[in-house]
Amino acid sequence: MRLIIAEKPSLARAIADALPGSPKREDGAIVVGDTLVTWCLGHLLEQAPPDAYDPAYKQWRLDHLPILPQQWKLIPRPKARGQLAVIRRLLKQASLVVHAGDPDREGQLLVQEVIHHLGWKGPVLRLLVSDLNRPAVSKALEHLEDNTRYQPLYRAAEARSRADWLYGINLSRAWTLVGRQAGHDGVLSVGRVQTPVLGLVVRRDAEIAAFQPRPFYVLWVDLAVEHGQLRAWWQPGEHHSLDDQGRLLTRAPAEDLVARLPGAKGKLARLETHHKRQAAPLPYSLSALQVDAARRYKLSAKAVLDACQSLYERHKLITYPRSDCRYLPETHFALAQKTLKNACGSDDSLAQWLAGADFTRRSKAWNDSKVGAHHALAPTGTQADMSRLSNTEANVFRLIVRNVLAQFYPMLSFREIKAEFDIAGEIFRAQGREILEPGWKPLFTTRDEALPLPPLHEGEPATVIDQAVEDRETRPPEPFTDASLIKAMMNIARYVEDPEVKRTLRDTDGLGTEATRAGIIETLITRGYLVRQQNALRASRTGHALIKALPEAASRPERTALWEQRLTAIAEQETAPAPFLDSLITDLRELLATADASRMHDAFGSAQGVEVPTRAKLQTKGRRNSGARRSSNGKSATRRRRSNKEPS
């Protein structure tokens, strides 16, 4: 009997439907001929808590740290025991096991740790499914591989799980305990990804708070030229008082010049024209989609991920969504016309875009050498019924389809023009853009950001018909939003100061993964470290204090991004897990030595940040909204806050 263990029920159903025969449901499984299909519910197992290694660790004490398990233990997650028992029973009937976790590092860990935990010693094959539609699943079932090929991926995932436990348990206990000594009542959670993300927001908030606006001045002229009018801007020379961006810091020179400009004549001294072509944006990775959806529809990263999961699992309209890739397999090209026709049929905008697509075109998006475990998000070819989708699902689906459709449109072709005028012995610059072929651009926007200039030729005369000096002010950095924070996590090298590390990190996947970035933001909000203010993400007072109290190395992105690089090296068999974990333990000891109650006290004393509504305020608000309502558990807020529950 063959037993297929899927990562989740939706995948199990898709596999059962693709097998020859009539599926029959039984407790916790589906039977199809001589094949049993069962499933996990996400992670069925989790790292055991510290007191599973020593009962003394149930009490949080600084002299226990660092806690370093010698033999690692996994325990069933709450509510997972029933399904674990089902898999245990089915394994007794099996002669062959097929691992059908998602095709990524966590998917490899999730199913394989269950197989190992339940003591299976027989053969294991690997099934890789990235598209839940029957043809795709049937094809995957025809190409099963030996699971041993994916052992390096499993070892990397296991090392990641253990490293996160070591880092989170030890540092969270240490800073919670010194926080209590400093008068803070509650758990202070520290994580190898969440804390550097919080650090990004705290530092941005600090830049905004410390920002001192500086005035600067610009001078413009409206010029009459042979074939129309245009506006040009004065380019003050280095002999004037300028900042590092070339902005004029004193008004007097601009006022002196503007007094001489009315009716002044000059000529076009220099004209540069560049013909440029721009390819369509590639199909989406999850993070790229989250960035665009946040900007266009003000959706949180989690809302986009949830919509994608629904489109993938429930509606079967898109391929596997938690992908970091923006390329498609070359085999998808031949099927694209049919796939996109089914995707676009019930939506007016998509149908209009489909009508303009030329399926003889082939962009660089189809490239097997760029596709790893996943490919870019794409429609599956299932007939789309937009009336069955929520508004968010429909908007996200349109974006995914649009970016694939855009691959069948011509390149955007335009002429970029830069003109320099000599007026009253000073340089005035104008620039514009002329669209020659809109190509894919109308699928993304109905307007062009740059205005065209009238026809120009070098040496032609120009006359000033209007002029003015404008007072302006430098502006502070924008607070992070879901879109900009996700983008920062993707391009984390921009926030690294060390040149060597910066060069190294340009080739990594950034901070967090496609699957975790939305969850990291939501976790920081849930724990009271971040607050959403309309579309902005701001750090709370507790968030500011935690970052101030931690050593800088724990709150900056270098460490965790380099972790990802070392985990990738383990997955690619370039190194073993043991040196990585040994190095981490050395770092932990150094970090723990810096835990200091007085520093924590000072951090809370000086911390600024957004106020997070207290539990008492939320309960008062709840009583106002729904009448007198007592807490169901009867515990006081203080007692709940003092819980020693480990952060997850």
Q: Residue type for 522, please?
A: E
How far apart CA 115 and CA 148 sit, in angstroms, is: 13
The tokens describing 59, both together, are 């009490």
Closest CA to 265 of 22, 90, 462: 462
Residue 500 in contact with residue 517, Cβ under 8 Å?
A: no
Closest CA to 258 of 245, 267, 248: 248
How far apart CA 88 and CA 80 sit, in angstroms, is: 12
How far apart CA 517 and CA 414 sit, in angstroms, is: 36
Residue 3 in contact with residue 97, Cβ under 8 Å?
A: yes
How far apart CA 176 and CA 587 sit, in angstroms, is: 19
What b-and-e string marks burial along 546-556, b requiring 16 or more CB atoms within 10 Å of the CB? bbbbbbeebbb
Q: How far is CA 549 from CA 120, 552, 599, 601, in A?
A: 47, 9, 6, 8
Q: How far is CA 439 from CA 313, 333, 447, in A?
A: 34, 20, 13
Residue 340 in contact with residue 357, Cβ under 8 Å?
A: yes
Q: How far is CA 119 from CA 48, 112, 113, 127, 131, in A?
A: 18, 11, 10, 20, 30
> Out of 150, 217, 312, 320, which one is annotated catalytic?
320
269 burial via Cβ count (<10 Å: 0-12, 13-18, 19+): middle
How far apart CA 161 and CA 563 sit, in angstroms, is: 12
Active site residue 327: no
Question: 263: phi > 0 → left, psi -120 to 50 → alpha, else beta; which?
Answer: left
Q: Which residues pair with 225 in a beta bridge?
A: 228
Tell me the catalytic residues. 320
